[in-house]
Amino acid sequence: MKRLTSILALMLIACLGFNADPVPANDGDLIWDALAQQGTVVLKAKYKESPENGLIDQTLEVEIQDAPANTTLFISINGRPFDQMVTNAFGRGTYRRDVFGVRPDSSGRPAGPRIETGDVIRVHRGGQGISATFELRP
């Protein structure tokens, strides 16, 4: 009976997914999110600033779902060309850029290019595209 209970417990853990204690978040991180949906196409973007040893690491992640398959899409921020990504056979595209060790300015934010609340990210091909506005996560 004890063995059956152990097996059932393992099966329950496997079905529900075992979640160990989460890794503590860096309290100094600032994160901006942008989300938009147009028909079935979904655009998600996240920009993060992480203080590390007196410098700041920046990360931008962009994901598009249900876009045209196997297509090069262009990314612009506030109307300025930024980079590009290619969707897979299912119309999903992902992009990530990391910049490490940026010096902070007097406000503690990265000196130089960075995302601000209200900045607009656009993923497009020609005149067709989808846009979302960045908002600081509370």
Q: Where are the domains of the chain?
A: 27-136
Helices (H), the chain: 2-16
Q: For 54-78, how does the pLDDT look when each residue is reduced to its tens digit (9 = 90+)?
A: 999 999 999 999 999 999 999 999 9
**What average pLDDT does the segment 128-137 reach?**
97
Please say whether the beta carbons of 115 and 68 come within 8 A: no
Residue 11 scores a pLDDT above 90? no
pLDDT, position 87? 98
Q: Which CATH class is domain 27-136?
A: mainly beta
Q: What is the largest CA-CA distance in the chain?
A: 66
Residues in Cβ contact with 35 at an 8 Å cutoff, skipping those fewer than 6 apart = 42, 43, 44, 45, 132
Query: What is the pTM assigned to this prediction?
Result: 0.80
Question: Which of 134, 128, 135, 133 shows the shortest CA–CA distance to 39?
Answer: 128
